[in-house]
Amino acid sequence: MIEMKEIVKHYGKGDNVTEALKGISLRIENGEFTAITGHSGCGKSTLLNILGGMDRQTKGEYFCDGEDVSGMSERELAKFRNSHIGFVFQAFHLAGELTAAENVALPLGYAGVGAKERKERAKVLLDRVGLAEKYKAYPAKLSGGEMQRVAIARALANHPRILLADEPTGNLDHENGEKIMALLRELNKEGMTVVMVTHDLELAAMADRCIHMADGSIIAQKN
Ligand SMILES: Nc1ncnc2c1ncn2[C@@H]1O[C@H](COP(=O)(O)OP(=O)(O)O)[C@@H](O)[C@H]1O
Ligand SMILES: [Mg+2]
């Protein structure tokens, strides 16, 4: 379970300070599918980055499955990220010089998995996202929807319990966006906690719960 209490995030200092989050309190149960919506600049990515241990809050408490994430050292935080969190971005962030399979295998390499097992697991993961036949394809030869599938397969490589997706359908047309949403839904049905930021209210309505943010605060929640 994710539990945040009065999370505040400031960027910059003095006169230049931006209050990106102004006291966010939030509870997400394991296995829940939560959508976060709100206008550009309201703090969605900031919140997701703190959830994923990519950034730290200025004030407030963050517990994940009872662990005090705010109290972690940099090393502990990196371990938390690598063992619990999968991240998916709007812009895919695939390495252009690597094949689909090599992109998926990349985090396995960092985790010390041997070459043969990396190959096998990349295959299984690409199969899982419906891209088994694109194993050897380079990103330039893939459609946007396919690139996002590769990015999701990569995010799943280390068996995260929580998948965080920051506008994963933002660069896709509506049809491909729905397909990505369906894939996230399937992963969620298999037990994964999913938190997805989206501008698309139609997609957000497909989540278990929708959190609406404005100007650094949660202003509404719908189940
Ligand atoms: N690294 C940063 N340094 C300074 N300001 C930032 C930084 N990241 C985000 N901000 C500011 O914090 C606010 C929230 O940004 P963000 O979380 O990216 O919003 P969203 O994802 O909802 O568009 C915005 O005003 C943005 O300009
Ligand atoms: Mg954002």
Asked if 213 contacts 47 with a C-beta cutoff of 8 angstroms, the reply is yes
**Residue range 10-66, pLDDT digits in tens:** 999 888 999 999 999 999 999 999 999 999 999 999 999 999 999 999 999 999 999
For residue 189, being part of any structural domain is answered with: yes
Gap between the Cα atoms of 173 and 85, Å rounded: 27
Residue 197 backbone phi and psi in degrees, to 5: -90, 135
**Residue range 127-164, pLDDT digits in tens:** 999 999 999 999 999 999 999 999 999 999 989 999 99
What residue numbers bound the domain in which 108 lies?
31-56+79-222
Supply the CATH number for residue 202's domain: 3.40.50.300
In which residue are the tokens 């407030």 written?
60
Q: Can you give the pLDDT at residue 223? A: 80
For residue 99, being part of any structural domain is answered with: yes
**Residue range 70-111, pLDDT digits in tens:** 999 999 999 999 889 999 999 999 999 999 999 999 989 887
Q: Can you give the pLDDT at residue 109? A: 83
Domain count, the chain: 1
**Residue range 174-185, pLDDT digits in tens:** 889 999 999 999
If one residue of 17, 39, 45, 199 were mutated to test the ligand 1 pocket, choosing by the most ligand atoms within 8 A of its CB, it would be 45
For residue 25, being part of any structural domain is answered with: no
Ligand nearest to the CA of 90: 2
Query: Considering the entire predicted model, what is its pTM?
Result: 0.94
Asked if 36 contacts 200 with a C-beta cutoff of 8 angstroms, the reply is no
If one residue of 9, 42, 46 were mutated to test the ligand 1 pocket, choosing by the most ligand atoms within 8 A of its CB, it would be 46
Q: How far is CA 77 from CA 6, 54, 80, 106, 218, in A?
A: 20, 8, 5, 20, 25
